Chains A and B, each alone.
Chain A
């Protein structure tokens, strides 16, 4: 009898525990708000009568999407750090952890048919523009399954309406203006976001791009990701004026809190609308911060203090800020966010596994993709007896 009762009780409990996740989920969704109004910091304006709104609505669906995306980027960057130290990744590797609100916020403010070009600190934007973590990490490790078949590496990843990833500081800015030029020429309503850092803002070609874009009213949003350091040089040591949102001179500008994804989103929507209305270019300065050094060879503490980095992490972390908003506004709870974290961890681990096991591109393909729409031809190797075949 006792045994029978024990069996019945354990059977009842096992059925109850199977129902738990669904039950929890049911309870959870019933308890959360669908959306919440959020206050955001007012942007500093330059040559603008009005700016982005100071309140916005964050829906639960958007919040979960942004949270997950930022966590993916964070984890992906930390994984890249680890893989670099394990020597799976070589060459340059510039990480953007700390700047997640910029990439996710920008994407949230534009359409997929709009265009983006950025600098070498590109991994986050690669993800938000649609490249999978797998293809990004495999590109970092130089494997066939990478988004550029292992030939581009960290700084040269391309996707639909995404023009990289550029190695030369500042060169992407006129390129971005050119993309905007082409889309205007072809009669589309698309815009181009051309991103650059506080260091690149001092490049002459950036000023040339400003002039050409304003003259021709190109639908280009110039975005300065001001993370306070151009490599190891603080902004005050590099720029006579650190008001980067005003550096466009005759181009209107916004200074945006780049650690708050909603700020970035609303500012981007505002800027995109401005451009699409035919008024010409606009400039956004995103005040943000990178936790890592300039690249993997830079510990990042010879030109700034550990305390400063720690302070930013504890007070201004973009993921933490969004998490607090979500919990305080009942858009989610700790358990649900932990589930997302676990899922993200799994996704990144699987991608890393792929990136370390996928084969490298074969040597025979070394000279592929030299010319587009071209019949195959032979390319000289390292000496006259070696010829590689090149196909488009």
Chain B
């Protein structure tokens, strides 16, 4: 975010506690001291209001980063995300782009109870006109945040609070200011031959803990919309088995969609057993 704020005057960050509090989860620490009140803006507790203002600002020439303290609070503002941001470019037949990023922690944390633990991947990736990304480590976060800010479309970036505090090795390439992870490209975190395991966000880390004797090919989706179904198909055609892992509820979720697409596509006949969905409950 710092690099993008430096690169382009039109980029700014707004949400609750991002400035003087340095971010509820310290993601924006140091930014207010560096860029000041104009670029890093503390808002009142008004999700629908400030999300609407962010969308309006995007329509009128700026590139806002609208943070939700957690995506649970985005439900207050979801109309602005879907109806005002995602649908506008299409409804206006290309007259009105909306270059905006909605980002924040998503999914389960530690003991924060039902109101603060929902995963919104299935809700947001259902909607055309939105791009949805879900980083699982520092490299993902760095590469994706720059891609999403540079993109001229509404993007939802689903982070995870528990991963904020984890240190990851950052490859040299990823340390460059020009490092970008493109949309729609999944990553093979580990090669394997026995079974394909597909996940996004924090569950990718869980999938990397493997059982001895079983070589899992772990696919990190990175972008969940548009989804890189080709990468999953290629892997399933190699391993003949599929497990999907996600942090959301089972019905109509990420795993359900992956299974539907595999069933419709070229990899179906390569499955030796039905796909299995793993999820939160």
Interface residues of A (CB under 8 A from B): 115, 117, 148-152, 156, 158-159, 163-164, 166-168, 171, 173-183, 185-186, 192, 204-205, 208-209, 211-212, 215, 368-374, 377, 379, 384, 392
Contacts and interface: CB of A to CB of B under 8 A. Distances in A.
Contacts of A115: 60
Q: Which of B58, B84, B131, B265 has the most CB of A within 10 A?
A: B84
A178 B56 contact: yes
Contacts of A151: 90-93
B83 interface: yes
A156 B84 CA distance: 11
Contacts of A373: 97, 151-153
Contacts of B38: 185
Given A168-B79, A205-B49, A212-B46, 9 more contacts: A168-B84, A174-B55, A175-B52, A177-B53, A182-B60, A185-B62, A212-B49, A368-B93, A373-B153
Contacts of A179: 56-57, 59-60
Contacts of B264: 384
Interface string B194-220: 000000000000000000000000000
Closest 10 CB pairs of A and B: A178-B56, A174-B52, A208-B49, A182-B60, A175-B56, A372-B97, A178-B53, A149-B93, A208-B46, A369-B94
A212 B94 contact: no
B54 interface: yes
A325 B60 CA distance: 39
B89 interface: yes
Interface of B: 10, 12, 38, 43-44, 46, 48-62, 79-80, 83-84, 89-97, 99, 128-129, 131, 151-153, 226, 264-265
A244 to B, nearest CB: 19
Nearest to A144: B93
Contacts of A156: 91-92
B93 A369 contact: yes
Nearest to B96: A158
25 contacts: A149-B94, A158-B96, A164-B92, A171-B80, A174-B48, A174-B49, A174-B52, A175-B53, A177-B53, A178-B59, A179-B59, A181-B60, A182-B59, A182-B61, A182-B62, A185-B12, A204-B48, A205-B49, A211-B44, A212-B44, A370-B128, A370-B129, A371-B131, A371-B153, A377-B226
Nearest to A186: B61
Contact of B56 (A117, A208, A371): A117
A215 B90 contact: no
B161 to A, nearest CB: 25
Nearest to B37: A216
B12 A368 contact: no
A334 to B, nearest CB: 41
A372 B59 contact: no
Contacts of B151: 373
A148 B92 CA distance: 5
A379 B90 CA distance: 13
A115 B91 CA distance: 19
A356 to B, nearest CB: 20
A152 B99 CA distance: 20
B234 to A, nearest CB: 18
A178 B94 contact: no
Contacts of A178: 52-60
Nearest to A213: B53
Nearest to B261: A384
Contacts of A168: 79, 83-84
Contacts of A368: 90, 93-94
A171 B53 CA distance: 10
A377 B184 CA distance: 12
Nearest to B54: A178
A209 B152 contact: no
A200 to B, nearest CB: 13
A211 B97 CA distance: 27
A364 B152 CA distance: 24
Contacts of A372: 89, 94, 97, 99, 152-153
Contacts of A163: 56, 59-60, 96
A171 B59 contact: no
A167 B57 contact: no
B52 A148 contact: no
B56 A148 contact: no
Contacts of B60: 115, 163, 178-179, 181-183, 192
B153 A181 contact: no
Contacts of B54: 178
A250 to B, nearest CB: 13
Nearest to B86: A370
B89 A371 contact: yes
A208 B48 contact: yes
Nearest to B45: A208
A215 B49 CA distance: 13
Contact of B53 (A150, A174, A371): A174
A115 B61 CA distance: 12
B13 to A, nearest CB: 13
A107 B48 CA distance: 29
A182 B94 contact: no
